[in-house]
Amino acid sequence: MADWDLTTKLAPFLDVHLVFPLLEFLSSTGIYDEHELLQEKLNLLNHTTMVDFAIDIYKTLTPESDPPQNLVDKRRRVVEELGQLKEQAEAVVQLIVSDEVQNLIATSRDNKALFDSLHRDHGLTQEMVDLLYKYAKCNYDCGNYSMAGQFLSSHRLFISPSDKNYLNSLWGKLACEILMQEWEKALEDFNKLKDYIDSNPFASALESLQQRTWLIHWSLFIYFNHADGRDMLIDLFLSKPAGQFHKQSSNQPYLNAVQTICPHILRYLTAAVITNRRRKELVKELVRVIQQESYSYRDPITEFVECLCVHYDFDGAQKKLKECSDVFNNDFFLVALQDSFIENARLFVFEIFCQIHECISINMLADKLNMTPEEAEKWIVNLIRHARLDAKIDSKQGHVVMGTNAVSPYQQLIEKTKAMTIRCQVLSMNIEKKLAAERQSSTSGFVPNDF
């Protein structure tokens, strides 16, 4: 079961604090030795100042011995540093929470103007703003995410995107909201960070790629907990800008990041598409990506789609669907989606099977769907009852007879012309640009005599 665990692949792209929820989940699955997981937690805690947490784990690992002196000394230093920063930041904290400044913040729309006003009237300095950031980071390292998030929100009000701590402040605020499970606020901070990264303020394309890769991994916490998360995940990777019908992924930087650095993210994209019936038109695009990356990443979820949509191997798809249960049970982000995935995957198998056959044996169908004949018949009856299937059941013969789903000429015409308006606009704009360029070149260069 541990074969499909992605924690070791995800962890390098996550903040240390974000790894702990994954390790806590693994402890509940029992696929790893608990002693080894506790030791790994202790190793990670060395990169934080959550000393009390580290001492508790050490006591669990070695209940017969006292905590090592280095942990005791570290705890004393952390408490002293936190107390000093609290004292130093007291002035700026009191300034921020005052009614007058709160009213000014509520009406201000420009960070520089707000800072200048507070500098002029209340003595706010850049050193005080930097100190607020340092105090927020110290609280975050200690595990006080709520206070750190509040200070980072205030810090961001007084700085511009060119500030040395601006990007770190965006990342820190997003981490705080994720760890506090404030998904609406986390989504808002995610979008701010995404907009900043997409504005391409980095020195190299490699740095932009690295930032996008981190953002993809952090986004999984939001996408699999927010009500509209799976829709947003699909849009991030598979939606194309208007006018880009003929291009594959040249204008999809986040899909490029997945294909370049982290193809294991295809597991989550595949699960999102299969469990979202409203976006089934993107299955073809998903299959294309899975095929392209099959040499670098495969698991039962992606192989299920490949068996079904590429090879039309229903026996292979059934086998992979059984294996998917182990993947879902041991994946922190997907564990709650197992029932939805199995239900939609069965329907997906059934739809493709029905495209090939007009009359289907219920026993054969039950075998393909990994169900008993009685369960399969009840399942099909429910599909017919809820108008999701045009079919009839012949109980005597034990067959399902499919209805004819001929598409009307009008519907065919609509499907072929629904994107015509946008395409015409793009074509018109390209023609206008070309004509403007020709006019400019003809007026700026030599104009031949008409005589």
Note whether 261 and 165 are same-domain residues. no
Note whether 218 and 335 are same-domain residues. yes
Note whether 389 and 307 are same-domain residues. no
Note whether 140 and 41 are same-domain residues. no
Note whether 135 and 221 are same-domain residues. no
User: From the CB of residue 423, how many other CB atoms can be counted at a distance below 10 Å?
Assistant: 14
Which CATH number characterizes residue 376's domain? Answer: 1.10.10.10
Domain assignment present for residue 422? The answer is: no
Query: What is the domain count for the chain?
Result: 4
pLDDT digits 0-9 by tens, 165-175: 999 999 999 99
Domain assignment present for residue 430? The answer is: no
Q: Which domain holds residue 274?
A: 203-346
Note whether 216 and 340 are same-domain residues. yes
Give one word for 30, left, alpha or beta, with left for phi > 0 and alpha for psi -120 to 50: left
Note whether 169 and 213 are same-domain residues. no
Note whether 109 and 214 are same-domain residues. no
Note whether 222 and 131 are same-domain residues. no
Domain assignment present for residue 435? The answer is: no
Note whether 299 and 375 are same-domain residues. no
Domain assignment present for residue 364? The answer is: yes
Domain assignment present for residue 191? The answer is: no
Q: Find out whether 147 and 137 touch, Cβ atoms under 8 Å.
A: no
Give one word for 163, left, alpha or beta, with left for phi > 0 and alpha for psi -120 to 50: beta
pLDDT digits 0-9 by tens, 317-356: 889 999 999 999 999 999 999 999 998 898 888 778 776 7
Model confidence at 416: pLDDT above 50: yes
pTM greater than 0.85 (yes/no): no
Which of 105-114, 184-193, 332-341, 414-423 is predicted least confidently?
Answer: 414-423
Mean pLDDT highest for which of 109-113, 260-264, 439-443? 260-264
Supply the angle between the helices 126-141 and 69-88 in degrees, to the nearest 10. Answer: 150
Note whether 363 and 399 are same-domain residues. yes
Domain assignment present for residue 417? The answer is: no
| Distance, CA of 228 to CA of 230 (rounded, Å) | 6
